Amino acid sequence: MAEPRARRAGIPISVKLILATSFVVAAAVGTATWFSTTAISDLTTSQLEARRLAGQRAIERESELVAKPVASSAAVPLSVTKIDEVQSILDRAIEDDIADLVRERKTESKSPPERIQWLVVTLPCVDKDCVVGKFVTWSDPGTMASRKAGKPVDKPPATVPDETKLGALKAKLADGTKNGDVRQAKVDGGAIYGMPMIAAGRVEGQLWMSVSTKELDDQLQDALTKAEQSATEKRNRSLLVSLVVLGIGILLAALQGVQLAKPIKVLTMQAERIGAGDLSLRVPENRRDELGVLAHTFNVMADEIYALLAQQAGKIALEKEMELARQVQQAMLPPETLDQHGPLKIVGHCMPASSCGGDWWTYRKLSNGRMLLVVGDATGHGIHSAMIAATARGAVEALSGIDERLLTPEQVLRAIDSAIRQVGEHNVLMTAFAAVFDAQSGILHYANAGQNFPYVIKLDGRILGEASIIAASGNPLGDRNIAVEIRRGSLQLRPGDLFLCFTDGVVERANPSGKLFGDRRLRNALLGQPLPDGDALVRLRDLLVHTLAEYGEGAIADDDITFVLCQYDPPDVPHTRTSRRGAA
């Protein structure tokens, strides 16, 4: 036995165990941390969104509550062109809103909170192309404070929109929402409102109002910052706990890995010796854990390998003998090339289902243009059947070597029966068909002992046409319990007739679904095929072999397959359609 090549040492199993455990613990802790952080973030986001929506709805309600009274109270003085009174109403609305915010916050500041950014009053549109009516008056926190302090204000600040800007805001209001007479639209930093100013059922003007949401946005941003800080603190605590758990896991894995590495190393050394071919060594089995079970398994494996090697050696020797027997059996069969004896052309095919088979066939060229053909099928297949087939073939050869006149179909089958009756302790059965072709007269003499009925196929203009069977049965040969019964007869062949003899393995070839090839498919495979010369007979044999293989779809054949094609083809005789001639 060749010396095994030394293997380079790899990563120790203890290191692998530590790394694997560390990875699993880290993955588990990391996943848990990620899920918890994500859940906290999602919860915080949803809470902030709910808070923002609630604040916006509150501002919208309060803004509508401010806009409606202002529009209603300012409509009357506007209808009589009392602009100063309209200004006072607007200033008072902004002042009251600031006072309400201060009370809500319960704080006093040098810069009081401002929710209403500005209020603007315009007249209704008169012209057809008018977008926004004439600018009347305005108010904003700065203007209100100046007027309250007695300072005159001549023009609105830049933060208050003029008629052009009001036209753009009107387009936004058209795309916004409407609640009764009040329209609302969102803009950067807040929202704008617009509603008609109606007095005595008549529209006297349009009130415009801008509301800031900066305070709400600042509160939300502050809450988001605090939430992110809280989430970061929780994530850091989770990571710290994860690192502690990971360290403990690595420590435990290291301790366990060292404990497992020592006995595994001993077991590996013993296994390498067994792998080197020293099957006499055994590993200790004193441990009471899985390693002890593994050691016992190694010892059992060594015993089984020893027995398996002995069986393998015997199997190899048997396979060599089987291959030799197959070669001998194939050498006993006629070659698969076309042969001719006068007007008789013959070619065959024999394929055993295993290394050796029970099917066989042979032919002998006799004097006066005669030819003997024998096809046999011993029970089953394998070495036993091959030995029976060889005995039967030997009987034919022995008989033909004595006297050619004894080679009648019936006498050949009786010689086979006599030979195989003496083989073994049990009945060995064989079906067989024997025929003697007389080329001069075209008469076929035959005898059948349980073989499948052969076919005679007419040739119509060198095309295979109608097929008929030679219906002669008889019982199989070699049965010690009953006398052999052989059916014989003769048949007049016409020029071009094709004779087909086959074993049951042909028609019983099964596909993967278990359906048999059958006689009908066999006849259909032959009918209509051209047969102009001897090469065509070989092609016909190959076609039948291919058809059987294709039908099997790769499934292993259950029985040997053998068939022989023999054509009676005398020269210078036309091949035309004729009626049936002769009896089987």
- Dist. CA 205–CA 489, nearest whole Å: 129
Per-domain residue ranges of the chain = 13-220, 279-332, 335-568
DSSP 222-247: HHHHHHHHHHHHHHHHHHHHHHHHHH
> What per-residue confidence (pLDDT) applies to 398?
86
Q: What is the dihedral of CA 197, 200, 203, 205, to 10 degrees?
A: -40
- The stretches in the chain having pLDDT less than 50 are 1-4, 577-584
- Dist. CA 230–CA 226, nearest whole Å: 6
> What per-residue confidence (pLDDT) applies to 364?
92
- Dist. CA 139–CA 263, nearest whole Å: 92
Structure tokens at 563: 């068939």
Structure tokens at 341: 């004896």
> What per-residue confidence (pLDDT) applies to 1?
44
Q: What is residue 557's three-state secondary structure?
A: coil
469 forms beta bridges with 455
> What per-residue confidence (pLDDT) applies to 577?
46
**Tens digits of per-residue pLDDT, 227-239?**
777 767 777 777 7
CATH for the 13-220 domain, from 3.40.50.300, 3.40.30.10, 3.30.450.20, 3.30.565.10: 3.30.450.20
- Dist. CA 411–CA 29, nearest whole Å: 92
CATH classification (class only), 335-568 = alpha beta
> What per-residue confidence (pLDDT) applies to 513?
92
Which among 476, 471, 475, 478 has a CA at the least distance from the CA of 455? 471
Structure tokens at 320: 């060599």
- Dist. CA 459–CA 532, nearest whole Å: 10
Sign of CA dihedral 468, 470, 476, 478: negative
Distances (CA, A) of 262 to 16, 289, 291: 14, 14, 11
Structure tokens at 429: 């059965």
Structure tokens at 297: 């398994």
**Tens digits of per-residue pLDDT, 243-275?**
787 778 777 777 777 766 666 776 777 777 767
176, 185 Cβ separation under 8 angstroms: yes
Structure tokens at 345: 């052309």
138, 94 Cβ separation under 8 angstroms: no
> What per-residue confidence (pLDDT) applies to 578?
43
Structure tokens at 123: 């007249």
